[in-house]
Structure 1
Amino acid sequence: MEVRGSVVSNINAYVKEMHPEGYDEWINKLSDSSQELMKRTTSSKWYPIDEGILEPTQIMCSQFYGSAKEGAWKSGRFSAEVGLSGLYKVFVVISTPTFLIKRASRVLATFYNPTEVSVVDSSDHSMLVHFTKLPTENEYLEYRIAGWMEKALEICGCKDLSVRATKSIAKGDDLFEVQISWR
């Protein structure tokens, strides 16, 4: 159950940028091992998911947001915005939504280990995505991934976008399901 360092770095950057007034308090609430990861993370290395994103996200959500969904979703959106900038942004802007998410499903497996994800249904204006394996059963992770997908599709040019997490491994379903529609 691991997460790539770039994901850990993005959570740290998100809190630093979006909540600068509470950043030091947030860091100080983290366990020693999570604090250490925030200081020394290398983007290409793998780190334990609990200390790398689950604990920092849970503390971030309780400190700055009213719910796990809101905070984790927003940090996932931030991660897409940061990760899909520069050269990657050109690729995203010229992609179709279906191509982007099919490609993203393979990319997500390079950030979260283990991950199994597939686009099980798609049309010109909708898509159904199933995650049958995630590194842990945790709603923060699921909301973060859904937020990332939403922002990636916005960058792709989708209008009237709806991204809904309709099933949850964390809540006892056999998979994490995301229903997406756009105009």
Structure 2
Amino acid sequence: MQQIKGTILKSRLAFVEQHWGREGVERVVGSLQDDDQKALRTVLSVKWYPFEIGERLDAAIVQVLGDGKSEVFERLGAASADANLTTLHKQFLSPGRPHVFLGKAPQIYGFYYETGRRTYEQTGESSGVMTTYEAETFSVPDCLTVMGWYRRALEMCGAGGVSIVEEECRARGGGVCRYRIEWSTVAD
């Protein structure tokens, strides 16, 4: 069974609170089953949780607050990067060196997910491909969150004009989740 760290759930809840207030959090959590509500009211950052609780939380955010649009998760991913890469995981940032940062994708993946793996391959001076393999569970909102997280993280490393396109997605029938990443400038 795939599990995710509590930091993922906490980031989603913090994003909801930041954009929709405490009432938004209560509306989202209140729309879930009792067991999920109980778990989400006392999330611990270092604890592992079933991936499915994250999926149900994602679906509730889209349904209750996102007008049925899952794109809200790219914004959530960016907010999560701001929160985690300025505190808990700031050692991952590599200012002025986007490829060095992206080369840490396998380690970063291991901090957030229990099964599967992620690779990074540089394809040009300012481009590369990141691929997620063998994750037991996957979802479109999770992939959008990954895209938003890495876009913001690259900006925090000084990359400008960042573009991330998911070329293949397991949640849409692909064999892997593959992201083509490009940027136009780098500041130190």
TM-score between the two structures when normalised by the length of structure 1: 0.90
Rounded Cα–Cα distance in structure 2 between residues aligned with 1:135 and 1:68: 24
In structure 2, stretches of 5+ residues that fail to align are: none
How many correspondences in the alignment? 182
- Return the letter of the residue paired with 1:62: Q
Report what 2:170 is aligned to. Answer: 169
Report what 1:61 is aligned to. Answer: 62
Which of 42, 45, 69 is equivalent to 1:43?
Answer: 45
Report what 1:78 is aligned to. Answer: 79
Is the contact between residue 77 and residue 148 of structure 2 (CA under 8 Å) also seen in structure 1? yes
Report what 1:34 is aligned to. Answer: 36
Rounded Cα–Cα distance in structure 1 between residues aligned with 2:123 and 2:99: 7
Identity, % of aligned positions: 21
After TM superposition, give the deviation of residue 175 of structure 1 in Å. Answer: 0.7
Please give the residue correspondences for 1:1-183 in structure 2 after superposition, counting only pairs within 5 Å: 1-20=2-21, 21-51=23-53, 53-86=54-87, 88-89=89-90, 92=93, 94=95, 96-183=97-184
What SS does structure 2 have at the residue aligned with 1:94? coil
In structure 1, stretches of 5+ residues that fail to align are: none
After TM superposition, give the deviation of residue 48 of structure 1 in Å. Answer: 0.6
After TM superposition, give the deviation of residue 114 of structure 1 in Å. Answer: 0.7
Is the contact between residue 113 and residue 135 of structure 1 (CA under 8 Å) also seen in structure 2? no
Is the contact between residue 68 and residue 140 of structure 1 (CA under 8 Å) also seen in structure 2? no
What SS does structure 2 have at the residue aligned with 1:113? coil
Deviant stretches of 4+, over 6 Å: none
TM-score between the two structures when normalised by the length of structure 2: 0.88
